[in-house]
Amino acid sequence: MHSETAPLPLHAQMGLSDLEYQAIKRKLDREPTLTELGMFGVLWSEHCSYKSSRELLKHFAEYKRAAESKGLENAGVIEIGGGLGITFKVESHNHPSAVEPYQGAATGVGGIIRDILTMGARPIAILDSLRFGDIRSSSDDRRLFARVVEGIGGYGNCVGVPTIAGELKFDRLYQKNPLVNAMCIGLVEMDRIATAAAAGPGNAVLYLGSATGKDGIHGATFASDTLGEDSDSKRPNVQIGDPFAGKLLIEATLEALATGAIVAIQDMGAAGLTCSTCEMSAKGGVGMEINLDHVPLREAEMSAYEIMLSETQERMLAVTHFEREKEVIEIFHKWGLKAEVIGAVTSDGMVVIKKNGRIEASIPAKFITNECPSVDLDAAEPENVREAARFDIHELPVPKDLSQALLAIISSPNCASKRWVYEQYDYTVQTQTSLWPGDGDAAVLAPRGTQKGIAAKIDGDGRKVLADPFIGGQLALIEAARNVACTGAKPVGATDCLNFGDPNDPGVYFQFKEAVRGIADAAEKLEVPVVSGNVSFYNATEFGPVMPTPTVGVVGVLDDVRNRLGMGFPRGVGFVYMIYGRGHAPRQHGLGASEYLRTVHNMEDGAPEIPDLRIEKALIELLSQAAKDNLICCAHDISEGGFAMALAEMCIVGQAGCTALIDANEHVRRHILTPTLEGLSTGKVQLEEIPEAIFEAETGVDAWAFSSRADARLFGEMPGRVLVGISESATKQNLTDKLCLLAAELGLTAHCVGVYDYAQHSIRIVTPSAPVVDMPLESARRAYFDAIPSLMGSSAS
Amino acid sequence: MNIAVIQSPGSNCDQDALYALRNQFGADARYVWHDDSSLHGFDAVVIPGGFTYGDYLRGGAIASRAKIMSEVVRFANEGRLVLGICNGFQILTELGLLPGALIRNGGLRFVCKKVQIAAVNKTSPWTKNVDRVLTVPVAHNEGRYVADETTLEALRRQNRIAFRYCDPSGSFTPESNPNGAADSIAGVLNEQGNVLGLMPHPERAVDTLLGGEDGRLILGCLVGA
């Protein structure tokens, strides 16, 4: 096709720049061999070296600390008490999934599971964050969506790790470039944490797991380029997963680690044997001599280059204590897996690769692992950011039929139930899943051997990052943390996956830089440290870059898992309270970059509201305290689709109706809804006049109550707001007062906004003069559950 | 009662079954490795769910050739309790201890959700305590029970249909059948009623904190209830 162009020099074909090539020659003091060039090519790819992002990632305090001291492990560990720790990490598998969605997604799950496993942890949960093009208009994207979901289930279900939570959004900017981010959580005994740092010259280096084949060669380099017309020809770059082997590897590895015979272990993920030999050596400050003649091969004729660059899945590299390799080998053989000594640890810091008695590569481990030259890139604010900030909602008409608008939002694929997806995942295997997908703002696990609960959620909203990268970054972490808190858990740590376009584009690099700053800022102020992460650049096709999409996974801990909260109203009757703080004055009444704007007005405009991290932190504290003291029976944060969508979800999930009140004019804003037991039994809401002083203090600064627009009050995406249910019995014990008091102590306000009732079959949102939303519960339920199945050509049940 | 939980490569509900029996029922349960050859000293066998051998060839096909399985057959034929759950059910049909087969779900997708089941047989050790509609989870890709009409007729006549999928009121509607199983069959018994193959997971329903405890009514016979 390009016959007239001269072929690229070899190093360039491997993805190395001239500058990098010169640095390699200088260090080696000779021309690198073909195998060495290949090894540098993959390890110095963006995917492995983080050369364009390293400097910026130092915004994350934990990253900075690790990078400057002991070095980065696959994932951080957070102690949860009782001698137990949790470790978690999210990773992207976008490029492979674009080309071969089933295997791309499956191997993404397999890879992240092994990252967690090599910490010595048992993988206890998978979460996934997915983005696709508009499935309403594009059959290609429907196919990608269906196959990615099948791939995640295909691997996770078979390997026996429950997929407990996730998130999913659609936008035309993800057309043909889906984002597939998989997160895994592991549980580890604190005194059993494994390391990847090789040590002890003379110790054996063990190859464990599946035999090496020619699949996935140069996968990491492939992941460091944009997707083009020829992407289909890269299908051989995609690895093939074998979840059965993956399952055996989990059991064999945990059994082998328990013997104490293993010094260090690492997954052979991206860049396979190259990455594991070089990184383990560099981390331990040692070298390795590897003889490729002993590497189990799937096909006979493989060159050193191919063996070193293969990304065959389900393989690990381990270093064992002197003369204890047999113990490990026996365990792997019992599980029907290969285990071979392929070399030994050396003291000179060199990774030496031999084949047929010939030295194929001899590279200083620290140089190839840590010294890929950083790339300085230009950042420039894209024009759309300023435009978004100027968006004026006053030109936007308020729809006449707000019930219809709510129904449109409920049935938009972004807001609708994701049941079609999660029912394809085994989320109950390991019998620790206590709050199931769809039932709460986050999933909750009840791990065996402890009273504690572990809550987890992953979130990110590219639309908001596109409109305001810093705020969007903050909101991604906040949203995940708030969701975790809504289950009653205290968020303890985060992991992020940063999906962006080509970093050489100054606009994209600006988005990246600002989003990182935003996430790091929120992490610091909420005291939810980012302990691991992954960067995925070059998410761009002929249609341009994807939406800048950082996804943030947050994990939280409940002291007593029995206190976990779902989002649905329980049986019976009770009050609905909104808890909020007095934050920034709203920029665009929560309508900028909102689901409402997009779904109802078919507009992509505006900027997200600025969160107040003090309020967010107070909310998190309130929720865990209120759950612990049994003040509230359910909680759900206000997010996409605003107040009305949040309320509708609480009704749909709980199968209860509700009547809520929004004030539409100055007169009514001078009243508050007074919760009384009588009101509960009649389902009527009562108003009481607010004393002047309280009115000034309360509503005068509340953005939500201040908006005169009914659409803004219903659908505005104001951060820092949570709806909670208070049951009748809690009301009788005056727990509503306790909740209000607790809120006040934390600088928050708790207001009654309505009544839920299991016997009511409608969702009503009213002003004192008229209903603005009145919808049969069944219509809402159908819209919510049928939206995605009907697009995917299968009926819901 | 001593219960053997068979552990094969790719079992992934083995630990759940052991935990449910041991820690939640107080039964004496132990793993038996697929390559062992004896069930000496055991009173009951549970073949747990999972993806033995990655479901390669057919779900349960390879695991049914393991060394321990001829012992399981002998054990079953002696009238002792054998329960195959999910992939374990597939293994029991592959062994010929139960008739019929389990094929790809009607919807062609993996399905994980809570379902309701009703006991049809009321006399076997596995069903005699089941006095109401039970809610238990399913999680399978190949759970659609099929058999030829003669076999189905025999199962009905001999009272060997243990459980059928139903709606919460106990009606056998097409919507409440998660995989398109013939006659909404969720579990079948051998002729003596000591061997049960069951697609739903009772071991995942023994704790209200984890979504319900209706599974206890089925597993009860393993602890002498």
Q: What is the pLDDT of residues A273-308, one digit of tens each?
A: 999 999 999 999 999 999 999 999 998 889 999 999
Question: Is some CB atom of chain B closer than 8 A to the CB atom of A446?
Answer: yes
pLDDT of residue A694: 43
Note the pLDDT tens digit of each residue in A441-452. 999 999 998 999
How far, in whole angstroms, is CA B29 from its chain's centroid?
A: 17
Question: Is some CB atom of chain A closer than 8 A to the CB atom of B211?
Answer: yes
Question: Is some CB atom of chain A closer than 8 A to the CB atom of B111?
Answer: yes
Q: State the Cα–Cα distance between residues B118 and A258, nearest whole angstrom.
A: 44
Q: State the Cα–Cα distance between residues B117 and B200, nearest whole angstrom.
A: 9
Question: Is some CB atom of chain B closer than 8 A to the CB atom of A145?
Answer: no
Note the pLDDT tens digit of each residue in A74-111. 567 899 988 999 999 999 999 999 999 999 999 999 99
pLDDT of residue A667: 42
Q: Is the pLDDT of residue A3 over 50?
A: no
Find the residue in A nearest to B209 (Cα): A434
- Smallest Cβ–Cβ distance between B54 and the set A243, A423, A424 belongs to A243
Question: Is some CB atom of chain A closer than 8 A to the CB atom of B99?
Answer: no
Token pair recorded at residue A428: 């109950």
ipTM of the complex: 0.97
Phi/psi at A306 (5° precision): -65, -40
**Mean pLDDT, chain B, integer:** 96
pLDDT of residue A664: 43
Note the pLDDT tens digit of each residue in A113-134. 999 999 999 999 999 999 999 9
Q: State the Cα–Cα distance between residues A676 and A681, nearest whole angstrom.
A: 9
Domain boundaries, chain B: 2-223
Three-state secondary structure string covering A119-173: CCCEEEEEEEEEEECCCCCCHHHHHHHHHHHHHHHHHHHHHCCCEEEEEEEECHH
Q: Do A431 and B56 touch (CB under 8 A)?
A: no
**Mean pLDDT, chain A, integer:** 90
Q: Do A429 and B16 touch (CB under 8 A)?
A: yes
Find the residue in A nearest to B174 (Cα): A797
Question: Is some CB atom of chain B closer than 8 A to the CB atom of A33?
Answer: no
Q: Do A158 and B51 touch (CB under 8 A)?
A: yes
Token pair recorded at residue A426: 């085994």
- Smallest Cβ–Cβ distance between A428 and the set B53, B137, B141 belongs to B137
Q: Do B12 and A425 touch (CB under 8 A)?
A: no
Any idea which residues of B carry the catalytic annotation?
86, 201, 203
Lowest mean per-residue pLDDT among A56-70, A735-749, B152-166: A56-70
Q: Min CA distance, B52 vs chain A (Å)?
A: 8
Radius of gyration of chain B from Cα atoms? 16
Please, what is the Cα angle at A407 between A405 and A411, to 5 degrees?
A: 120
Residue with tokens 């001829």: B70
Find the residue in A nearest to B8 (Cα): A335
pLDDT of residue A732: 86
Q: State the Cα–Cα distance between residues A624 and A723, nearest whole angstrom.
A: 14
- Which runs of consecutive H residues, i.e. helices, occur in A568-707? 595-601, 613-628, 642-654, 666-669, 677-682, 692-698, 703-706
Q: Do B211 and A336 touch (CB under 8 A)?
A: no
Which of the four pLDDT bands, split at 50, 70 and 90, describes residue A678?
Answer: low
Note the pLDDT tens digit of each residue in A182-195. 999 999 999 999 99
Note the pLDDT tens digit of each residue in A218-234. 666 666 677 666 666 66
Q: Do residues A503 and A377 lie in contact, with contact meaning Cβ atoms separated by under 8 Å?
A: yes
Coil, strand or helix: which one is B63?
A: helix
Determine the residue type at A502. D
Note the pLDDT tens digit of each residue in A519-559. 999 999 999 999 999 999 999 998 899 999 999 999 999 99
Note the pLDDT tens digit of each residue in A338-361. 999 999 999 999 999 999 999 999
Higher pLDDT, A619 or A48: A619
Phi/psi at A652 (5° precision): -65, -50
* pLDDT > 70: percent of chain A: 89
Which whole number is the average pLDDT over A571-581?
91
pLDDT of residue A709: 83
Which whole number is the average pLDDT over A629-654?
97
How many beta-carbon contacts under 8 Å exist across A and B?
91
How many CB atoms sit inside 10 A of residue A443's CB?
30
Phi/psi at B29 (5° precision): -120, 140
Fold of B2-223: Rossmann fold (3.40.50)
Q: State the Cα–Cα distance between residues A132 and A149, nearest whole angstrom.
A: 11
pLDDT of residue A142: 96
Is the alpha carbon torsion for B178, B180, B184, B185 positive or negative? negative
CA proximity to A86, closest of A129, A120, A128: A120
- Chain A residues lying within 8 Å of B112, measured CB to CB: 157, 422-428
- Chain B residues lying within 8 Å of A160, measured CB to CB: 12-13, 50-51
Token pair recorded at residue A504: 């050489």
Which of the four pLDDT bands, split at 50, 70 and 90, describes residue A65?
Answer: confident
- Smallest Cβ–Cβ distance between A423 and the set B112, B203, B209 belongs to B112
pLDDT of residue A75: 62
Question: Is some CB atom of chain B closer than 8 A to the CB atom of A432?
Answer: yes
Find the residue in B nearest to A243 (Cα): B54
Determine the residue type at A55. E
Q: Do B201 and A428 touch (CB under 8 A)?
A: yes
Question: Is some CB atom of chain A closer than 8 A to the CB atom of B19?
Answer: yes
pLDDT of residue A163: 98
Coil, strand or helix: which one is A664?
A: coil
How far, in whole angstroms, is CA A259 from its chain's centroid?
A: 33
Question: Is some CB atom of chain B closer than 8 A to the CB atom of A424?
Answer: yes
Note the pLDDT tens digit of each residue in B42-93. 999 999 999 999 999 899 999 999 999 999 999 999 999 999 999 999 999 9
Phi/psi at A717 (5° precision): -100, 75
E-state strands within A365-464: 433-435, 443-445, 453-459
pLDDT of residue A681: 60
Q: State the Cα–Cα distance between residues A648 and A568, nearest whole angstrom.
A: 10
User: Among B11, B12, B31, B176, which would you mutate to test the A interface (most chain A Cβ atoms within 10 Å of its Cβ)?
Assistant: B12
pLDDT of residue A670: 46
Phi/psi at A282 (5° precision): -60, -45
Query: What residues are paired with A291 via a beta bridge?
Result: A354
Q: Which of A2, A11, A59, A93 is catalytic?
A: A93
User: Among A428, A430, A434, A788, which would you mutate to test the B interface (most chain B Cβ atoms within 10 Å of its Cβ)?
Assistant: A428
- State the DSSP code for A427: -
Note the pLDDT tens digit of each residue in A494-530. 999 999 999 999 999 999 999 999 999 999 999 999 9
Token pair recorded at residue A318: 């381990």
- Chain A residues lying within 8 Å of B54, measured CB to CB: 158, 242-245
Find the residue in A nearest to B16 (Cα): A430
Record the pTM.
0.94
Which whole number is the average pLDDT over A396-411?
96
Coil, strand or helix: which one is A751?
A: strand
Question: Is some CB atom of chain A closer than 8 A to the CB atom of B212?
Answer: no
Q: State the Cα–Cα distance between residues A713 and A676, nearest whole angstrom.
A: 24
Strands A443-445 and A433-435: antiparallel
Phi/psi at A525 (5° precision): -75, -30
Q: Is A34 exposed, middle or buried (0-12, 13-18, 19+ CB in 10 A)?
A: middle
Question: Is some CB atom of chain A closer than 8 A to the CB atom of B175?
Answer: yes
